[in-house]
Amino acid sequence: MEREIAAEAEIEQLAGLISEASRVVALTGAGISVPSGIPDFRTPGKGIWAKVDPMKVATIDAFHRDTRGFWQFYRPRFEMLGEKRPNAAHQALVELERRGRLEAVITQNIDRLHGMAGSGEVVEVHGSIETSSCTTCGSSWSLAEVEALFDEDGIATCGGCMGKIKPDVVLFGEMLPLAAIERARELAEGADLMLCVGSSLEVFPVAGLPELTLSAGGQLAIITQSSTPYDGRAAVRLSGDVAEQLPAVVAALP
């Protein structure tokens, strides 16, 4: 009970910060998609990585060395993610934008749920399952189209040049998409409020973004269940269900 009252005060406080800020940027991680039924791979024993070693299957090396094994892991994951839909937390960010209170969303998630919810600018620093590309000629296909390109060995091949097709997500050992990283940094530096949702803020490049906002004189608000390295420097800290608390913040806006 006491916790609910405390959260209510923080929800009001966050709504106040959002209404006073002129440039608000959201930074989201796995926690915003948990209410959509996508487990956070860091949750012990529960996530998608519980039974496999990601350093063995989800690396750019593994993709080239054992493409079949790579797709054996990734294809069901694609199918699982393809069926997921945005939740109330994604929708709340769309509503903030619609009211002119949110400039953009930077996300670590590859599930493309922000775009599906209707967010305008979404900066996907780890790529997205939305498209896959030929690693030889660069041709690109949508998530729905890729399924038709698998051969009987379970490998997706480019019909044009017979090159290997890879999902446009950043694999371990792969370069981050430079344009997205630069845009994320620019947004973070220009924000007077960064709204961090469902991220433990520990994984590069996202881990460095709140620092840019703070250094430029902006403030941080954090809504996530796990602890983060920035907790002590956040103006507001919420730790409940993002699909309840984020809509509550929007509802509390003046």
Binding-site member from 22, 136, 215, 227 for Zn ion (CB under 5 A): 136
For residue 90, indicate whether it is catalytic: no
Is residue 158 within the footprint of Zn ion (CB under 5 A)? yes
Q: Please state whether beta strands 122-124 and 104-107 pair in parallel, antiparallel, or not at all (unpaired).
A: parallel
Q: Which is nearer to Zn ion, 141 or 230 (CB)?
A: 141
Task: At 140, list the tokens.
Answer: 């690109």
Nearest alpha carbon to residue 247 among 81, 35, 43: 35
Q: What is the DSSP string of 106-140?
A: EE---S-HHHHHT-S-EEETTEEEEEEEETTT--E
Classify 163 as helix, strand or coil: coil
Is residue 137 within the footprint of Zn ion (CB under 5 A)? yes
Binding-site member from 93, 94, 104, 134 for Zn ion (CB under 5 A): 134
Q: Which is nearer to Zn ion, 55 or 137 (CB)?
A: 137
Minimum distance between the CB of residue 97 and Zn ion, rounded to whole angstroms? 36
Binding-site member from 9, 55, 161, 216 for Zn ion (CB under 5 A): 161
Q: Which is nearer to Zn ion, 159 or 229 (CB)?
A: 159
Which residues on adjacent β-strands are paired with residue 132?
141, 167
Rounded Cα–Cα distance for residues 69 and 197 (Å): 33
Return residues touching Zn ion (CB under 5 A).
134, 136-137, 139, 158, 160-161, 163
Catalytically active residues are 126
